[in-house]
Structure formats: structure tokens, C-alpha cells
Chains A and B, each alone.
Chain A
Amino acid sequence: MRSIVNYFKDIIFGLNSLVTGLKVTGHYFTNPKEIITQQYPENRDTLQMFERFRGEVVLLHNENNEHRCTGCSACEIACPNGTIEIINKKVDIDGRKVKALDTFVYHLQMCTMCGLCIPACPTDAIKMANTFEHAVFDRSQLTKVLNRPGSKLMDGVK
């Protein structure tokens, strides 16, 4: 007798539990406004990334095509993966030979976006940009030169 009671108890408990679950899903089925889904490729124009999001390293330039990088290689030392390569040149300033930045090579394919290079920079020349669509068809396109052609050091940065 007891086993029969338990049998029916189990059935009622089982059906009850299924209805409880269906109530939750049914609630969202009838209230689609509570669902938070971003339609990503369609909302690309209005998409707002967070300010601190680490997407890729960029070298900041002002409107006169000047940057703040002195070529000290502090970021190259701080980088754990060998992502940044600083190539320097000697320039003549008032007859003195001074070290200056020639090429700022950035290997995006090796970057883990750890952000250790940003606090390492003594002149705040680089920052992390918010871009995140990095996919390209050819691997060589991921090796980037960050300083723009013809750019030079900003006045007063040492």
C-alpha cells in the first residue's frame, strides 16, 4: 500500500517540478522585454565599449603628428611576451647626437592584453584602445608600426 502511495507521490512531485520550471521559462516567453540580448553586428554603430577596455596598444599622436615616445624601451622590458619592439635612431639636435624613436613595432598576434606596458611608460605615450575586431586574413597584417610616417617627438617631452 505504502509503495503505491509513494509511486503516486513521486508522479505528483515530478509533474509539479516540471510545471515550476515551465513557469519560469514561460514568464520570459511572454515578457520578451526582460531578455537582455545585444544584436552585435547590427548595433556596431551604437556600440559603446567601456573606457578601460584593453583592446590593443596605440601610440597617441596629436593634430601636428607629434607623439610622446622617447624610445626608452621601458614598455619593451615590461612586456612579458616580446610584443613590443622599439627601434631607435640617432638624430642631430644642435650638433649633438640624440637617441630618438625610429620605429615602434607592435606584434598584435603575440599580445595578451595584460596592460603591463601602460604603467611602465614614463611619458604616457601609449594607451590601450577600445577596438576589438582584430581578425584579418593574413598574419603579416598583425605586425603593426605604431608611429605614423613623418611623426616626431612632441616638444618638452624628455
Chain B
Amino acid sequence: MEEIIHQELESQEYFINMGPQHPSTHGVLRLVLSLDGEIIRKVEPHIGFIHRSIEKMCEHDSYQQIVHLTDRMDYLSCHINNEAVCLAVEMGLQLEVPDRVKVIRTIIGELTRLSSHQLWWGVMGMDLGAITSFLYGFRDREMITDIFEETCGARLTMNYNVPGGLMFDIHPNFQRRTKEFITHFKKKLPEYDALLTNNVIFRERTVGIGILSKEDAISYGVTGPAARASGFSCDVREHHPYSYYPKVQFKEVLRTEGDCFARYQCRIDEMWESLSIIEQLIDNIPEGPYKAPTKAVIKLPKGEFYQRVETARGEFGVYIISEGQKNPYRLKFRSPGFSNLSALDHMARGSKIADLVAIMSTLDLVIPDIDR
């Protein structure tokens, strides 16, 4: 008799599709979940729904034209992606860009990071069921997009960098608006803590969920705030500084817990760091040209060039193989989202479906970045 009852209660693994249209998958990502009741046994991400073969398209474009394609990869940190391509091309040309360019690139890069984190904060709240945070995040992000629109000419896909410098000089209002934003946002950032960080429901859903150890973070190639929350010091700005970062004072945000809440706090602390970096630079933009002179047709010498930068999600790399032509022989992007996604299965095993949503949003996946 006992055996029969046991057999009836024995659970059976079953599969369920999460996405590609699920609202909390941040885009067209399909996750095949292998479930035992509500407990996740395995997560299998299926990617490639918005693959646009950007790497192949780059092989037919000139070096100036490649820049605008990187806007479409990680669209939330597009300025930093553009900068990576430009830095790689400048490395190939052995071109020294003026200090003014470096400072402006750094300021706008940090603004991009802020706007990306603000959107992530809003979306993270919404994934966990709080619509308020989404509206608050977008309210503050609006000021940054206005700055971008006025100076760069677009709100999201800015394409402000060109190899050798910037497309045009900053707008006269740029400094005033940025200072206004800093004073505004310094008052608003504590609201974020009041709304989410200290909220009891939010803490219950994030503390101790989706733990990633430092060793696993390194072996899966996780970078960015997701890895720094596990104690893996991997900030490219600190270890391989580019642009104006060597001359800026900032500290790398590190936590050791490795759970969802640590990843959350890492990003919140990074916002404060970004604000302090912008504050240091905004009054000290040196005078000078906004572009180093380049030829109309850029031809890189034969060789291989690799440049890494720190986007809002992690380490982004551009690897150019040049044969001396006006377009690259091969171009490879190392995108942070792809490596971060590979750790999802490891982190989600044994947790509930609702935890998977929290883990995914703290990884901050951007699907066009994964698919390319």
C-alpha cells in the first residue's frame, strides 16, 4: 500500500517554454525550463531570434561605417560600444586623440552607464511586480536622454564617436544641463533606496537568491557588476584604463555575497561612482579640437588589434584583423551579455521560477547584445 502511494506522488520532470514573448525576458530570448514542480532543474537558453550578422556586415563596411552598427548591439550602452571600435581603429592608426575628446568621451560614457542602470533599476522593479519603480527610473533617465539629444542628435542610437574624435563639438548647453542633472539625481537616488532597496518584499525576493561564487564567475567568464558582486575584481576602467580613466579618481565597487541583492547594490553604488566621475570632469573639459585629423578613407595597417572597454554590463571587446584594406578582414565582438547568460543555468538550478526572473534581471541581459 505504501509503495503505491509513493509511486503516485513521485514527481515527473516536465518542460516549459519561457519566452520568446514573455514580458520579463527583456526581449526575444527563449528559455526552456526543465521543472520539477516549481523547482528548476535546468535552464536552457535558446538564442538567435534577432541575429543580424553584424560581424559579417562589418567586413563589408568602412571603419567609419562600422561604428553605427555597434549602436544596435547593446543599445543601452551604445556610446561605450562606439568608443571601443574607435579606440581599436585609433590603436591601429597609432593616432593620439586630443584630451578634449577623451574627457567628453568619458563624461558621455558615464552618463550612458547611468542611464543604463536607471533603466535596469526600473525594469528590475517591474520584473518583481512593482510598476512604480519603472516610472521613477524613466523619469530620471529622461534628463540624460535630453542631454544626449541636444549634444549627440539622438536619444538612444547616438553614433557620436568617429575614429579620431567626435562627430561634432558638444552643445553649449551641455555642461549646464549635466550639472543640473547631477544635482537633481543626487536628490533622487535616495528615493531609489526608499522604494526598493529597503523594501521588505524586495529583500525577501533577492537576498540569498541565485548565488554565484567567485570561482564560478571567473570560469563562466562573467564580467561587469554581476561578477563584481561575487568579489571578482574585473573593472576594465581600473585594470586596463582607456580614455581619461587613468586620471580620474574612482573606486571599484566590490561585494562578496554574490546573490541577487549584492548585484543590485553593486549597480546602485556604481551610479554614485559615475556621478562622482562626471563631477570631477564636467568643469575641467580642456579646450582644443574635437577631432584629430584623419584621412577620408581609413586603412589600417596589416595586423590584429584588440580593445576592451567596460560597458554597463561588463567587458566589451573589439577584435579587428586587418589585411591593410579599407574594411577589416574579420571583426569579432566580445559581448558581455553572451558570457553572463552562460552562467544563468548554474545560478538558477534548484530555485523557483519566480527567482529565475530576479536572477535574469540582476544579470541585466540585453538580447541584441547576445545575438548580435
Contacts and interface: CB of A to CB of B under 8 A. Distances in A.
Nearest to B296: A120
A24 B64 contact: no
A114 B65 CA distance: 9
A20 B154 contact: no
Interface in B182-235: 191, 194-196, 198-200, 203
Interface in A10-50: 10, 13-14, 17-18, 20-21, 23-25, 35-36, 50
B65 A53 contact: no
Contacts of A115: 153, 159, 167
Contacts of A20: 194, 198
A50 B150 contact: yes
A78 interface: yes
A107 interface: no
Contact of A113 (B157, B168, B195, B199): B157
B68 A50 contact: no
A56 to B, nearest CB: 12
A128 interface: yes
Interface of A: 10, 13-14, 17-18, 20-21, 23-25, 35-36, 50-54, 78, 80, 112-116, 119, 128
Contact of B167 (A14, A17, A119): A119
Contacts of A78: 64-65
Contacts, number: 68
Contact of A36 (B72, B132, B139): B139
A14 B132 contact: no
Interface in B31-78: 61, 64-65, 68-69, 71-72
A113 B154 contact: yes
Contact of B194 (A21, A50, A112, A116): A21
Contacts of A116: 64-65, 68, 159
Given A36-B142, A52-B150, A115-B159, A21 B68 contact: no
B368 to A, nearest CB: 14
Nearest to B139: A36
A80 B65 contact: yes
B64 A112 contact: no
B198 A17 contact: yes
Contacts of A119: 167
Interface in B139-177: 139, 142, 146, 149-154, 157, 159, 167-168, 171
Name the 10 nearest CB pairs between A and B, nearest first: A14-B200, A114-B68, A80-B65, A52-B153, A54-B153, A50-B150, A114-B159, A17-B200, A20-B194, A17-B198
Nearest to B151: A52
Interface of B is mostly: helix
Contacts of A35: 139
A69 to B, nearest CB: 19
A35 B135 CA distance: 11
A124 B142 CA distance: 32
- Determine which residue in A35, A36, A78, A80 has the highest number of CB atoms from chain B within 10 A of its CB, and name it: A80
B200 A80 contact: no
Contact of A112 (B68, B151, B153, B198): B68
Contact of B195 (A14, A21, A36): A21
Nearest to B193: A20
Given A10-B200, A116-B64, 6 more contacts: A52-B168, A78-B64, A112-B72, A113-B154, A115-B153, A128-B153
A13 B153 contact: no
Contacts of B191: 24
Contacts of B65: 78, 80, 116
A77 to B, nearest CB: 9
A24 B168 CA distance: 40
A53 B153 contact: yes
A22 B239 CA distance: 42
A11 B308 CA distance: 47
Given A114-B68, A115-B167, A119-B167, A21 B154 contact: no
